[in-house]
Amino acid sequence: MADWQIGRSRFEIGVKESLKQNTCAAIGEENSKNLAAVERSGGMSVLELNALELGKKIKSGEVTVLEAVEACLARIKEMEPTIHAYVTVVDEERAVERAKKVQAMIEEGALTSPLAGVPVAVKDNLCTKDLRTTCSSNILYNFVPPYTAEAVWNLEKAGAVILGKTNMDEFAMGSTTETSAFGVTRNPWNTEHVPGGSSGGSCAAVAAKECFYALGSDTGGSIRQPSSFCGVTGIKPTYGTVSRYGLIAYGSSLDQVGPIGKTVSDCAAVLEAVSSYDNKDSTSIPRKDLDFTSALVDDVKGMRIGIPRDYLGEGLDEEVRAAVLEAAGEMRQRGAVVEEFDLSLTEYAIPAYYVIASAEASSNLARFDGVKYGLRAKEYEGLHQMYKKSRSQGFGPEVKRRIMLGSFVLSSGYYDAYYLKALRTKALIKEAFDRAFAEYDMILGPAAPTTAPKLGESLRDPLKMYLGDIYTVAVNLAGLPAMTAPWGQDKQGLPVGLQLIGDCFQEKKIIRAAYTFEQIREGR
Amino acid sequence: MANSITDETMEYVGILAKLELTKEEKEQAKKDMGKMLDYIDKLNELDTAGAEPMSHVFSMNNVFRQDVVTNGDGREDMLKNAPEQKEGAFKVPKTVE
Amino acid sequence: MSRQYETVIGLEVHVELATKTKIFCGCSTEFGGAPNSHTCPVCMGMPGALPVLNRQVVEYALAVGLAANCQINQYCKFDRKNYFYPDNPQNYQISQLYLPICHDGWVEIETAGGTKRIGIHEIHMEEDAGKLIHDEWEDCSLVDFNRSGVPLIEIVSEPDMRNADEVLAYLDKLRMMIQYLGASDCKLQEGSMRADVNLSVREAGSPRLGTRTEMKNLNSFKAIARAIEGEKRRQIELIEEGKMVIQETRRWDDNKEYSYAMRSKEDAQDYRYFPDPDLMPVVISDEWIKEIRHRQPELQPEKMRRYQEEFRLPEYDAEILTSSKHMADVFEETVALCGKPKEVSNWLMVEAMRLLKEHEQDAQDMSFGPANLAKLIDLVDRGVVNRTVAKAVFEAIFARDVDPAAYVEEKGLKMVSDEGALRTVIEGVLEANPQSVADYRNGKEKAMGFLVGQTMRAMKGKADPSVVNKIVKELLTK
């Protein structure tokens, strides 16, 4: 079997575009009415389980894989007109077939993973063989990959059943999922608000119980920020931990795939399943410490936690600040040492990030040209017009903006001033984190300056939107692991998330702290 | 705005990136890019003289594959998504010679 | 032309490496095959596909660099060269700009003007593009990505050459060296070796370089020589007319013997190179370099010296035999089989070279095996065939690699040494040529040669010449 065919899925899934929603039909109260209706129908109880709980019940025979899948598909049918978390939902027939196959393999003892049989949603920038993969872009509106991304393949080997592909900001460029070419996704907590982005579809799907867990990707906060906005847990692992093979690149040196789930335990288990050394990805790192679930310990005694003063400064919403400080207090009570400190260089992370990410993106997205796959303009005269028209029709405004910025900063005469300068800044930012982690086991802070903004508020001023990434992008520049753990809600009832940042390869420390936070929250 | 982007620059970037913008899009893009570059100029406040440009965070090297054929005929799969094809090849407008 | 001009030439030589697989994926590099049958997501630039470097590419690049006396960048990286073209699936080519694997080397060339060192500016590794086929029927182009991702090294010379002779000598030198290293077969016609010529002219004695142009599409040594002359002429004319030479890439049309600018307003020639984030740096240890040096095969100058000493061959013969790795290999393997270096050398130097010239072929195109040449030498040695017949047999070996013994048997070419049989034939010849017999007897010794010739002719060349000589003499002096 060819190298690239290893990710061949064992089943073929048909393609069905999910219903596009035009109006915001149900919000708030009406939503809960819908939920109640589904609950009465008897399908709901399964959906209340988290991924590991479901996995256990499937193993014990209490729930069948088919029941779980059908519950999800029913829930998707119910919720999608409102939430629109999916770009593509698999054909029911195919999902059922896959569910039966997995069920049989579990019964034979061929599948033993705690996630075997648990339905999952996959961000639409991860290639899935024979299942349309669009990056929420017009330019890939019809792209059906001939291979499966390594991370997804690892889940399939564990017995996952894919429900569909989730909506995202086009090519992961954005913080609201509003730049999708296939319509916005709404925040299940309040459908007038965005779910965050770019993994907004994945986070919304988990929050709306349209799946048991999801995969996302994080280039500058794209797992952590929407997790925060949607009140779910998400991990961006150390760069190189999860293979990028089959992840459609945005900023190659920054991109990482990670799990989004209802609980810290689910995320740890999923991360354990998707992480692997992959010889198809030159940036993959061989690690022997991928047993992340071993860190699910409710104990932070003696843990040294630093809170960067810059992360509590100007621009931070009062309620979010209060939540972070309250969480810090809880840690102290549990025996952790919590201190504020100066991380420094925080304000330089965003400009450095946008130079590097845009430069890489301008090159990574050059392959979308109407020659080999995806959209080709209908009318054109000659080669160059075909390129220009296909790309101009295929890409949305935010993607064009970043491609142009990236082309400019790499162009003759500007390379040193912009690109090299940004790479030097990156080195300094990494050093600043190294100094911090010489003192602390973990850094605590907010995942975003505010809770989820209203739909349509952010795109008006791109620069302002970029500034919302202030607490997340530095982590990607330094290749660090970080995660979001939910911590209550603001007065509007919107979720607030904490961000936990670890040193390279120290996922276990932040998982342990996040698990402790979760225990505190559940004990309330 | 310290960085004012000229029409020529936009034209040039359009050629590099193979993007064709409408007049309105171009005006907006000029403003956006100028604003973004102003913001990026913030990096100039920082003395980075002592720092080596960092492409990769981790200092791994020599990631190789062995010279062994592992792929068979991938033609059918590779052509499946072609917008236009002819005789097993990708069809494109005539290239200038 | 009133003023004297000097031509300044530098070369960019692309060489396809002899690896089994492409530079960044496990697809075969084999020639031929249906369009796009040697492709995968990586060399097709599919979204999400990632490159992984073929170690053998680094080894070959190092071997060539060391043979060309280069410094090695023990920390080298790959960069992306960004430009749009349909044969370039990612619309960037993975190459090396900032830290190429080798730099600052030299090779020595010999021309009628003497010995000269040509500097090597750098050698870098990169990937080849796909192939564009122009479809005349539909006025469109078709892309075949089978060559996409085939490993190349680009050898960039210093602008050290001054005329076509030096350029051809330099190319010959590179080709021979790389073939000896086994790093490539370096066939210009098939495109496994390609040369772009950077050329400028300046007034003789001027210390400043003129504006240069880069010429592409040079498919043979002859085309290169013609292109140099043509471009030199074009630039001098421009200067004489008071016009400017524009720095640009030009395409040589060998039929029209003229170069044409490849400019397009859609090409900015701004490649926006930056380090490829998908690939890790290559670190080349002292041990690795030592290992490559140790493994380096015997190169031409050493081999030539050895042939003179070991096989007692004249310098000229040793040079011809070693001028191609393939020729040298055939020579040594045949000698190993038959143990007659002088004989083998003769066959190759005289007959093989003559046939190559006749067929306008290179030494590396010789396709016969050493075993059959060795067998032929043995047949001559044992007196089974005479030299005249052997030449015909060699032609058959050269063309179709036939087994000489079987061939001789089949065609009935065995030498006739049987005195009784020959005597009858010779008696007939003497009878038919009484004048010559009389001439000989009257002291015209030359007449005997004619009679021997007539006998050989009657025998269709198969007679043993020494026996024929003996009997003719005997009968004439009777």
- Using one digit for the tens of pLDDT, what is the confidence trace for A194-221? 999 999 999 999 999 999 999 999 999 9
Can you give the pLDDT at residue A18?
Answer: 34
Average pLDDT over residues B42-50: 94
Same domain? For C373 and C241 the reply is no
Q: Is residue C293 part of a domain?
A: no
Q: How far apart are CA C241 and CA C210, in angstroms?
A: 15
Residue C215 CB neighbour total at 10 angstroms: 24
pLDDT band, very low/low/confident/very high, at A28 (cuts 50, 70, 90): very low
Contact B58 A239 (CB under 8 A): yes
**CA–CA distances in Å: residue C3 to residues C6, C207, C228, C234:** 10, 16, 19, 15
Report the SS3 class of residue C160.
Answer: coil
Chain B residue numbers with beta carbons less than 8 Å from the beta carbon of C73 are none
Chain B residue numbers with beta carbons less than 8 Å from the beta carbon of C136 are none
Residue of C84, C90, C143 to mutate, testing the A interface (most A Cβ within 10 Å of its Cβ): C84
Q: Where are the domains of chain B?
A: 7-44
Chain B residue numbers with beta carbons less than 8 Å from the beta carbon of A395 are 19
Q: Which residue of chain B comes nearest to A140, CA vs CA?
A: B81
What is the largest distance, in Å, between two alpha-carbon atoms of chain B?
58
Q: How far apart are CA C125 and CA C281, in angstroms?
A: 13
Can you give the pLDDT at residue C267?
Answer: 73
Same domain? For C225 and C355 the reply is no
Q: Is residue C389 part of a domain?
A: yes
Q: How far apart are CA A58 and CA C235, in angstroms?
A: 80
Q: How far apart are CA A476 and CA C160, in angstroms?
A: 48
Same domain? For C310 and C373 the reply is yes
Can you give the pLDDT at residue C2?
Answer: 61
Distance from CA of C248 to the nearest CA of A (A): 17
Q: Which two tokens stand for residue C30?
A: 């084999």
Distance from CA of C25 to the nearest CA of A (A): 9
Bridge partners (DSSP) listed for residue C15:
C153, C193
Q: How far apart are CA C10 and CA C231, in angstroms?
A: 13
Length of chain C: 478
Can you give the pLDDT at residue B1?
Answer: 56
**Chain CA centroid to CA C16, Å:** 13
Contact B74 C40 (CB under 8 A): yes
CB-based contact, A427 to chain B, within 8 Å:
yes
Can you give the pLDDT at residue A38?
Answer: 41
Contact B54 A426 (CB under 8 A): yes
The single residue listed with the structure tokens 């998504």 is B81
The residues of A that are catalytic are: 123, 198, 222
**Can you give the CATH number for the domain in which C426 is found?**
1.10.10.410
Least confident of A156-170, C53-67, C359-373: C359-373
Q: How far apart are CA A390 and CA B83, in angstroms?
A: 11
Q: For residue range A285-341, list pLDDT tens digits in order.
A: 999 999 999 999 999 999 999 999 999 988 999 999 999 999 999 999 999 999 999
Of A370, A403, A422, the CB nearest to B83: A370
Of B12, B86, B96, the CB nearest to C142: B86
Q: Which residue of chain A comes nearest to B43, CA vs CA?
A: A348
Contact C36 B89 (CB under 8 A): yes
Select the highest-mean-pLDDT range: A237-241, C414-418, C440-444: A237-241
**Chain CA centroid to CA A152, Å:** 13
Distance from CA of B26 to the nearest CA of A (A): 10
Contacts of C319 (CB under 8 A, 6+ apart): C304
**Reported pTM:** 0.89
pLDDT band, very low/low/confident/very high, at C416 (cuts 50, 70, 90): confident
**Chain CA centroid to CA A366, Å:** 24
pLDDT exceeds 70 at position A19: no
Residue of B9, B16, B22, B86 to mutate, testing the A interface (most A Cβ within 10 Å of its Cβ): B16
The single residue listed with the structure tokens 């190169």 is C299
Mean pLDDT of chain A: 92
Same domain? For C282 and C325 the reply is no
Q: Which two tokens stand for residue C57?
A: 């590419």
Can you give the pLDDT at residue C446?
Answer: 84
Report the SS3 class of residue A106.
Answer: helix
For residues A144 and A130, the answer to whether their CB atoms sit within 8 Å is yes
Amino acid at A79: M
pLDDT band, very low/low/confident/very high, at C356 (cuts 50, 70, 90): very high
Q: What's the total number of domains in chain C?
A: 3
Q: For residue range B51-89, list pLDDT tens digits in order.
A: 999 999 998 999 999 999 999 998 999 999 999 999 999
End position of a domain, from candidates C411, C439, C464: C411
Same domain? For C376 and C228 the reply is no
Query: Which letter does DSSP use for residue C385 in this model?
Result: S
Ordered by where they begin, the domains of chain A are 3-295 (3.90.1300.10)
Q: How far apart are CA A281 and CA C42, in angstroms?
A: 11
Residue A298 CB neighbour total at 10 angstroms: 13
Same domain? For C64 and C187 the reply is yes
**CA–CA distances in Å: residue C31 to residues C21, C147, C150, C184:** 11, 8, 10, 13
Q: Which of residues 461-500 of A touch B (CB under 8 A)?
A: 462-463, 466, 477-479
Least confident of A81-90, A433-442, B14-23: B14-23
**H/E run at residue A295:** none
**CA–CA distances in Å: residue C58 to residues A228, B65, C74, C103, C182:** 46, 11, 11, 14, 14
Of C50, C89, C90, the CB nearest to A245: C50
Contact B86 C135 (CB under 8 A): yes
ω into residue A198 within 30 of 0, thus cis?
yes
Length of chain A: 524
Chain A residue numbers with beta carbons less than 8 Å from the beta carbon of C46 are 145-147, 372-373
Same domain? For C398 and C450 the reply is no
Of A133, A282, A371, the CB nearest to C86: A371
Can you give the pLDDT at residue C219?
Answer: 85
Same domain? For C312 and C346 the reply is yes
More confident residue, C319 or A43: C319
- ipTM exceeding 0.95, yes/no: yes
**H/E run at residue B14:** helix B7-17
Mean pLDDT of chain C: 92
Of A143, A279, A372, the CB nearest to C89: A372
pLDDT exceeds 80 at position A36: no
Chain A residue numbers with beta carbons less than 8 Å from the beta carbon of B18 are 366, 369, 384, 387-388, 391
CB-based contact, C52 to chain B, within 8 Å:
yes
Average pLDDT over residues C19-31: 97
Can you give the pLDDT at residue A2?
Answer: 52
Q: Which chains touch C (3 or more CB pairs under 8 A)?
A: A, B
Q: How far apart are CA A221 and CA A483, in angstroms?
A: 10
Same domain? For C471 and C350 the reply is no
pLDDT band, very low/low/confident/very high, at C205 (cuts 50, 70, 90): confident
Bridge partners (DSSP) listed for residue A497:
A486
Alpha helices in A111-157 (DSSP H): 150-157
Contact B12 A411 (CB under 8 A): yes
For residues A442 and A512, the answer to whether their CB atoms sit within 8 Å is no
**CA–CA distances in Å: residue A136 to residues B25, B32, C364:** 21, 23, 54
pLDDT exceeds 50 at position B96: yes
Can you give the pLDDT at residue C387?
Answer: 83
Residue of B9, B15, B67, B68 to mutate, testing the C interface (most C Cβ within 10 Å of its Cβ): B67
End position of a domain, from candidates C388, C411, C434: C411
Can you give the pLDDT at residue A459?
Answer: 84
Planar angle of CA C81, B91, C135, nearest 5 degrees: 105
Of C28, C84, C138, the CB nearest to B69: C28
Chain A residue numbers with beta carbons less than 8 Å from the beta carbon of B25 are 397, 400
Average pLDDT over residues B14-38: 93
Average pLDDT over residues C417-439: 85
Can you give the pLDDT at residue C212?
Answer: 93
**H/E run at residue A445:** strand A442-446
Of C21, C56, C143, the CB nearest to B90: C143
Can you give the pLDDT at residue A43?
Answer: 45
Q: How far apart are CA A319 and CA A329, in angstroms?
A: 15
Query: Which letter does DSSP use for residue A309 in this model?
Result: G
Same domain? For C339 and C365 the reply is yes
Q: How far apart are CA A366 and CA C159, in angstroms?
A: 34
Q: Which of residues 325-384 of A touch B (CB under 8 A)?
A: 345, 347-348, 350-352, 354-355, 362, 366, 369-376, 380-384
Q: For residue range A173-198, list pLDDT tens digits in order.
A: 999 999 999 999 999 999 999 999 99
Distance from CA of A202 to the nearest CA of C (A): 19
End position of a domain, from candidates C383, C411, C439: C411
Same domain? For C316 and C190 the reply is no
Range of the domain at C254: 5-288
pLDDT exceeds 90 at position C414: no
Average pLDDT over residues C445-454: 85
**H/E run at residue A437:** helix A421-439
Contact A421 B96 (CB under 8 A): no
Length of chain B: 97
pLDDT band, very low/low/confident/very high, at A24 (cuts 50, 70, 90): very low
Burial class (CB within 10 angstroms; exposed 0-12, middle 13-18, buried 19+) of C217: middle
CB-based contact, A144 to chain B, within 8 Å:
yes
Residue C220 CB neighbour total at 10 angstroms: 11
Amino acid at A464: K
Average pLDDT over residues C206-211: 90
Least confident of A56-65, A512-521, C313-322, C435-444: C435-444
Q: What percent of chain C has a predicted confidence (pLDDT) above 90?
A: 68
Can you give the pLDDT at residue C411?
Answer: 80
Contacts of C107 (CB under 8 A, 6+ apart): C68, C69, C117, C118, C120, C170, C173, C174, C177
**CA–CA distances in Å: residue C210 to residues A77, C120, C244, C296:** 72, 20, 10, 39
Same domain? For C91 and C160 the reply is yes
Q: Which chains touch B (3 or more CB pairs under 8 A)?
A: A, C
pLDDT exceeds 90 at position A137: yes
Count of B-C CB contacts under 8 Å = 135
For residues A177 and A196, the answer to whether their CB atoms sit within 8 Å is yes
